[in-house]
Structure 1
């Protein structure tokens, strides 16, 4: 008889399942962290790297990183490579939404159970687990009977939240506006219940991340909505898609990807979305104003909108984004509420000097991992005056390692110009030393061979000011013939950069320009098959690339990237701000 223990929690998606327990105490981004076709964990920085999720009860504290995790979850369920069940320490809307959409569209599902942070540690070291709606049974070895059994002596915590509906909400729900709007409203209400929202709010615009092609299920979902007559009710922009829609054949992309990925973008435009195809919608003229209630997906865009623009959005999962765009209604919860935008952690920086543009993505990457799902207040940058490109790079890397949709930087970001405004009571404090940042630098620099084959720029998409900076660095120089330097950007910024003369300089240098898509979706042949090492100034891509494309990475400043493009060699130099002898004690982790 195997040792057995039982726990209870909140059922996010009901169901029963049994399997070997796969446990980690670190959150996992399914996009860029899990192969949607095999279920293998491909995040090479994660403790579960190389493990296969299929048929196992996956226990992680929460998701993190990309909003596209819901799409990957739906693909895994549809192709039979999903976990048997998902057990979480805290509720995760991104992964849960992927399960709910798979249930709606494919009539296939898996149980999702949230047991709380305190109980979660009890899973460590257990070999097998059974989920039965709100109950979790743990075993040291295979039990004699793996079927479900009632556990009535264990209290449950699940409860439904009543939601106030307007007449318009009810009309959407009863099908008066068509099948697509009806199904979308059903999904919005189910997520609102799980989130504990008591009412819905009107939103002014949406940014859709679900246009990224993760496999046949993602295309089937969008085309089904089109067949049901879906039309967006608010101005809606589209994230990067998986190919350059105008040039994918010219770039040598396999039609097996190019055709469905392009069709997916067309499907969302058929619903009334704008042809924007950018992961940086905050660079468009339609960027929201402070206080505006919006629904954006794409993790870096969400963080930038909340933190730098002062708009109001959650980190919306793929597919919930389009459901809200089709209804114009979103749950009033989280960062839509002023009270939920307060800092929950204070991060103090050491003395800093001689900063370059590599500092901000590295800092964002490091703080994101420390913060987890907590909103941080960062102090120590008051005299550094980071610009919008610095904050873009910080936010993208922060969103890669954190589940939080917002950060505050004292004296810099709009809601923290007076830091006391984002503090509501005493905060736990973490002090970062330069040695801590050095360790994160080493983590992002996974390449050991100094050779550089590809220089990757534009994750997130390049801004006009970044193009200007790069053009100055490339002026009068020539890329090494064995190095590919490629830049991804949105169509609107590309045309602005062309009009400003920056593109002519970069084309003379030998750069490749790719629009519509982003590095998280690019692979061979844009990355030559023989290429071994990439170089980037993006903390986000330095994290994801080893898993997504199987290459090692050199991470450094934009100037170092251009030097490497000319020499085909990474210098390996530490930036001046990491070479300084100034340091603090190791951080006090709270």
Structure 2
């Protein structure tokens, strides 16, 4: 006999299919191929599986805000799951479905059933969703039941939701079709999130300018045709190509042309052609307490944690909808009480660290947090730099669903740790050992050869201080003739580095500099066809590269990356501060 589970319907509809279950969150961007539905996250238990036509059961998403774009693309091209079953309400994946409803008249049901019920799904063969009910079967039923997918319908927005006169004007279409549809999507998401009012925002950073397929371009061009214009200062994330040089880099026009056109569509809406995944390096970076709407996972985490600005981890497309209206749901990290730490993490006392420590620690801490905001203790005396915090936050955002972190004595809302939580001493506590960090080091170091033919730097985009340090390391040296060392950065930072003389040193070394795009979007021929593995100092890219470009990774410090670029090889040994754990691990092999 089938059994039934009830839940909260996030997106209405009905569907059925073979159940594909995992107890690990999944980033759809970098984790699911938008053209086929294959799970390409090689660290995920579902790696190699295809989600198309199946009822996908995961706790929620994690990592990139662009997961909503991938979900929309899958729905548009017919490779989407039949339905989603989640342990926790997920804004990124739900938003992708909402946008597909509004723009492509296609949908799939999304159901949240809570962690306890979710844990009972392991081993279930078949699932059937009907509204808020989930039927579970040991095999496919033989009845003639037919699903009725829900398609989004206009909703009344005057039933107790606090709207001002400008909000009503936007809903009525007084400011144009694009702003009207954007406001409808903002309010549907606000309801899904549990908000009852909106807040004015001062600026936006748009992640939806990443090209994930034809649907992403159709979405943006439709907004332009409807007369879309942003209402607040708006910057753009890295796009999928170096817009000024993609032909010279050998990029296939099948990608270069639509990816460049997508960037043009967003600038046509009034956004600044910043094209950087590190908007916190721009002169427009927000101040402490400023209400903003930023997308791109590392940027969100940095804005909340290091700058002390206030933003949710906004999904792609909700970001531009809010930029077009100037209004965001008053929920989550926009509220002081929702920024409190929920988990205390103790880091062991360590000495003689190199810069690989912070991305490694961020990667590991993210795996321990889930969606909880951590307060990290033990780094006060290390005085991490802004570059260290950038590297930590990017790796943290890769493995965690949390929108921010606190570091005791370091980040602005934890200079006094007591201010980051109502009762820090009462928080659940996790102690991280050197052995834990070594295990994460081994996970990031997926390459087993010692040859190095590509060194990738700048994920997130390089800062001016990183350029200065790299130039110091490379001065008077020359890369191995068989090695490509390439750096991705924003246009503004490149010009600053050029003015400071750093670019001349790096060009003499033989480095390649690429703007507008980032390693998470780059493939062949920038990554040479014959290269089997690559080296990076980015915890984020070390995680994503095996799935995105099919190469294994050597993860190392910046200094080690330069050494390997000169020699064409690496020892693949961990740094000295992890050497004890490496020796102990070898003894047990």
Number of the residue aligned with 2:575: 575
Compute the displacement of 1:145 (Å).
1.9
Who is 2:223 aligned against?
Answer: 225
Is residue 39–residue 48 contact of structure 2 (8 Å, CA) maintained in 1? yes
- Equivalent residue for 2:488? 488
Tell whether the 8 Å contact from 2:72 to 2:97 is kept in structure 1 after alignment. yes
2:581 and 2:460 map into 1 onto residues whose CA distance is 32
In structure 1, C-alpha distance between the alignment counterparts of 2:160 and 2:58, rounded to whole Å:
29
Q: Retained in 2: the 8 A contact 1:351–1:582?
A: no
1:71-470 correspondence runs (5 A): 71-145=69-143, 147=145, 162-425=160-423, 426-470=426-470
Distance 1:84 1:145 in 2: 18
Secondary structure in 2 aligned to 1:579? Answer: helix
* Whole-angstrom CA distance in 2 between matches of 1:90 and 1:352: 36
Paired residue secondary structure (1:559): helix
Paired residue for 1:157?
Answer: none
1:162, CA displacement in angstroms?
A: 3.8
Structure 1 residues without counterparts, runs of 5 or longer:
151-159, 584-590
> Residues 413 and 419 of structure 2 are in contact (CA less than 8 Å); yes or no, is this contact kept in structure 1?
yes
Q: Which runs of 4+ in 1 moved over 3 A?
A: 580-583
For the residues of structure 2 that align with 1:552 and 1:177, how far apart are their CA atoms?
50
Q: Deviations over 1:455-495 (max 9, x none)?
A: 00000000000000000000011101111100000000000
Secondary structure of the residue that 1:383 maps to in structure 2? helix
Give 1:155's aligned residue: none
- Which residue pairs with 2:586 in the alignment? none
Aligned to 2:538: 538
3-state SS of 1:222 partner:
helix
Tell me how many residue pairs correspond in the alignment.
Answer: 573
Listed one character per residue, the Cα deviations across residues 287-318 of structure 1 (whole Å, up to 9, x for unaligned) are 00000000000000000000000000000000
Residues 220-252 of structure 1: per-residue CA shift (max 9 Å, x gap): 000000000000000000000000000000000
CA distance in 2, matches of 1:92, 1:172: 26
Closer, same or farther in 2 for the Cα pair 1:66/1:134, shift >3 Å? same
1:509 paired with 2:509, answer yes
Kept in 2: contact 1:7–1:135 (CA 8 A)? yes
Task: Output the CA distance in 2 between the equivalents of 1:249 and 1:433.
Answer: 48
Larger mean CA deviation between 349-358 and 380-389 belongs to: 349-358
Q: Deviations over 1:88-109 (max 9, x none)?
A: 0001100000000001111011
Q: Contact (CA 8 Å) 1:43, 1:547: kept in 2 or not?
A: yes
Cα distance in 2 between the residues matched to 1:260 and 1:478? 36
Deviation at 1:579, TM superposition (A): 2.2
Aligned match of 2:554:
554
Query: TM-score of the superposition, structure 1-length normalised?
Result: 0.96
Q: C-alpha distance in 1, partners of 2:404/2:418?
A: 16
Give the TM-score of the pair, scaled to structure 2: 0.96
Shift of 1:161: 8.3
1:468-483 alignment runs, 5 A limit: 468-483=468-483
Q: Does 1:38 align with 2:54?
A: no
